[in-house]
Amino acid sequence: MFRSPIKHCRNCGSAVTYRVPDDGDTRERAVCPACDTIHYENPLNVVGTVPYWGDKVLLCKRNIEPRWGKWTLPAGFMELGETTEQGAARETDEEAGAKIEMEGLLTVMSVPRVGQVHLYYRARLQSDVFDPGHETIEARLFSQEEIPWEEIAFRTVRETLELYFADRAAGRFSVHNVVIV
């Protein structure tokens, strides 16, 4: 898991214990022995885009760990108070400084091993001039033939790119439900 287990109660700060609560629950939870608060941990959403300019897509070279120096699509953790599309657009702006027009949902990817759900939207670039943020070494456009497939940071990104190009070749885009095992 990317997230470390809860050690202390969010309510009172006491050390928690992991056990199945007495309320008919079936999973172990971090339960506070002092104030009885039960901490529920649920998957996080990662939201991103496939920004395209003509027949090219925008990739970002990561300036952060994990996978420093590898290429990725702009994506990141959704924030409270925003929609999936707002989060995807925000990440695209933060990581690539790219101006986009959001289009349809392309992939919904469950990654149960790390407790995440990734959602990628197609996004039409408004310009081919980018202003990447500190998390990105370089943002540039790649045609399908130019994609550095061996240097892609994450399997979710590789599969999203493959589905994007397959849909584009087929002449119609749809939503793909994918499980990353």
Looking at beta carbons only, is 17 or 174 nearer to Zn ion? 17
Burial class (CB in 10 A: 0-12, 13-18, 19+), 93: middle
123 binds Zn ion (CB under 5 A): no
Considering only 25-33, 52-60, 75-83, 151-159, which stretch makes contact with Zn ion by CB under 5 A? Answer: 25-33
Residue carrying structure tokens 């300019």:
53
Which residue from 105, 107, 112, 109 is spatially nearest to 42, judged by alpha carbons? 112
Does position 32 bind Zn ion by CB under 5 A?
yes
Asked if 15 interacts with Zn ion (CB under 5 A), we say no
Q: What are the tokens at 111?
A: 């990654």
How would DSSP label each residue in 11-46? TT-PBPEEE--SSS--S-EEE-TTT--EE---PEEE
Question: Total number of residues binding Zn ion (CB under 5 A)?
Answer: 8
User: 83-86: long-range contacts (C-beta < 8 A, 24 or more apart)?
Assistant: 84/45, 84/47, 84/119, 84/121, 85/47, 85/121
- In this complex, which beta carbon is closest to Zn ion, that of residue 7 or of residue 172? 7
Side-chain half-sphere CA neighbours of 113 within 13 A: 5
- Binding to Zn ion by CB under 5 A, coded x per residue (else -) over 37-76, reads x---------------------------------------
Residue 20 binding Zn ion, by CB under 5 A: no
Nearest approach in angstroms of CB 5 to Zn ion is 16
Nearer to Zn ion (CB atom), residue 37 or residue 110: 37
Q: Is 31 in the site for Zn ion (CB under 5 A)?
A: no
- Least Å from the CB of residue 109 to Zn ion: 35
Q: How far is the CB of 31 from Zn ion (least distance, A)?
A: 9
Does 12 participate in binding Zn ion (rule CB under 5 A)?
yes
Residue 151, φ and ψ in degrees, nearest 5? -115, 20
Give CA–CA dist 180/60, Å, rounded: 22
Where does this chain bind Zn ion (CB under 5 A)? 9, 11-12, 14, 32, 34-35, 37
